[in-house]
Structure 1
Amino acid sequence: MIKIATRLFIWLNTFSYKVISVLVVKENGGIHPKHRILNYHKFFLDNISVNDSVLDIGCGNGSVAYDLSKKAKRIVAVDIVEKNIKNAKEKFSNENLEYVLGDATNFEFGEKFNAIVLSNVLEHIENRIDFLSKIKVLSPKILIRVPLLNRDWLSVYKKETGMEYRLDSTHFIEYTEESFKEEIEESGLKIEKYYIKFGELYSIIKKYE
């Protein structure tokens, strides 16, 4: 009986998180309040320069790309979802910001950039080693933000007990520090520095000289 009750409340926890995420976006004019609370845009802004050309892969609603466009020289923002690109163009446009509809895992960019941004994107890609190996030739620097499995004890417990533990059902992986480091190394890249905040890992990735 206790096991059944525990599983029920854990399921409710997962379901509630998803519902809350949808509702707070609607309550806040289409923008998730996590952008403000986590202030994660600052990480990307702090690691680009005014003369940079930046590629934002998996740009979503365009809010990160827009903030980057207010500092960098040029931004190319790519997303695989047509609705995301449409909304981004409507809400977050700028003269130096170009939105592109496409799948970055097989898209031919035809140019190089000073930096690449992957903000909560890598975990959505199945063949991550191949993807990182492909994009590393496009830029000397990749700025990555990913959620961690051990963001709280309950997420780890959910996985241990065979329940849904992912923040998003489209995630192919929920990283630990160790698994993230292993994938970066396997991709022929190196972590210049990283830190963890609110259960997310922020890292500056570069190629070996």
Structure 2
Amino acid sequence: MIKKILFKIYLIVRESFLRKHLLRFLIFVNNYSYGWIKLFVIENGKHPKHEILRYDKFFAKHLNKESTVLDLGCGNGSLAKKISGEVKRVVAIDISERNIEEAEKINSRDNITYIKGDATSFDFKDKFDSIVLSNVLEHIEDRIEFLKKLHQLSDIILIRVPMLDRDWLSVYKKENGYEYRLDNTHFVEYTTKLLKEELRVSSWRLKEYSIQFGEFWGVLINFDKQ
């Protein structure tokens, strides 16, 4: 009975001036509820997405026991800790003092060094076997310049970024002027074409990649080292 009533209301509204107003409201609810769901699914400080996506296995697959790794934008260090058992050394940096304090408290290991600093401007003295960029690049405004600077630090980048075309609704939202980003601190959410173009301009070559859970997971190598 309720479904029939709602459907009749829908038929009336969709042909009226109210359609766009209701659509805007529903998209707002969709975005707003997604943000709160992300918070409420956290239990005992752990977000279930990490166990579902298991992106740490992707990173570990491309590292070895002799690897030195630079984790840029490490957050609370959960990924740094997971890959630390597979490598020789991890240097992990994050701009948030709170994140670094939490990382040192709950995700410390003897072969991990945590640094509070800006990954886009920090003066690293060493070169690393690999750089990890796990959901970081989309938070950077001048991504081309940032990617160019990384050539000084490593010839390999392991990257993970969110895709704009993860579903039809995110594309629809962007094309029609609605908020479409998973996080309002994102400067970009990628299509494969856009990411490949940014890599080409910054002299990185895509060695391999896959699309997982609406994310792009890839291995980048220095264009001059191919």
Aligned to 1:172: 187
Q: Which residue number corresponds to residue 2 of structure 1?
A: 19
Q: Equivalent residue for 1:124?
A: 139
Q: Normalised by the size of structure 1, how large is the TM-score?
A: 0.98
Give the letter aligned to residue 103 of structure 1: D
* SS in structure 2 of the partner of residue 195 of structure 1: strand
- Give the aligned CA root-mean-square deviation in angstroms: 0.7
Show the counterpart of 1:85.
100
Residue in structure 1 matching 2:55, options 29, 40, 62: 40
TM-score by length of 2: 0.90
> Which stretch shifts more, 131-140 or 181-190?
131-140
Q: How much has 1:9 moved relative to structure 2?
A: 0.8
CA distance in 1, matches of 2:147, 2:164: 21
What amino acid maps onto 1:41 in structure 2? D
From 30, 41, 44, the counterpart of 1:29: 44
Give a deviation string over 1:165-194, Cα, whole Å, max 9, x none. 000000000110000000000001100011
- The reply to whether residue 103 of structure 1 matches residue 118 of structure 2 is yes
Regions of 4+ moved over 2 Å? none
- % identical aligned pairs: 52
- Aligned equivalents of 1:54 and 1:16: distance in 2? 36
Which residue does 1:56 correspond to in 2?
71
> Which deviations, in whole Å up to 9, do the C-alpha atoms of 1:22-57 show, x marking residues without a partner?
1112xx211211100011111101010101110000
Measured in 2, the distance between the counterparts of 1:200 and 1:118 equals 13
What are the residue-to-residue correspondences of 1:141-160 with 2, within 5 Å?
A: 141-160=156-175
Greater CA radius of gyration, 1 or 2?
2
Paired letter, 2:80? A
SS in 2 for 1:190: strand
User: Could you tell me how far 1:137 is from its partner in structure 2?
Assistant: 1.9
d(CA) in 2 for partners of 1:136 and 1:109?
Answer: 12
Aligned residues: 207
Q: Secondary structure at the match of 2:80?
A: helix
- Which one of 196, 204, 207 corresponds to residue 189 of structure 1? 204
Q: What one-letter code is carried by the residue in structure 2 that aligns with 1:186?
A: V
Amino acid at match of 1:194: Y
Deviations 1:107-150 (CA, angstroms, capped at 9, x unpaired) = 00000000000000000000001001001221111000000000
Whole-Å separation in 1 of the counterparts to 2:112 and 2:48: 23
Question: Matches of 2:38 and 2:113 in 1, distance apart?
Answer: 28
Cα distance between partner residues in 2 of 1:96 and 1:140: 22
User: Structure 1: which 5+ runs fail to align?
Assistant: none
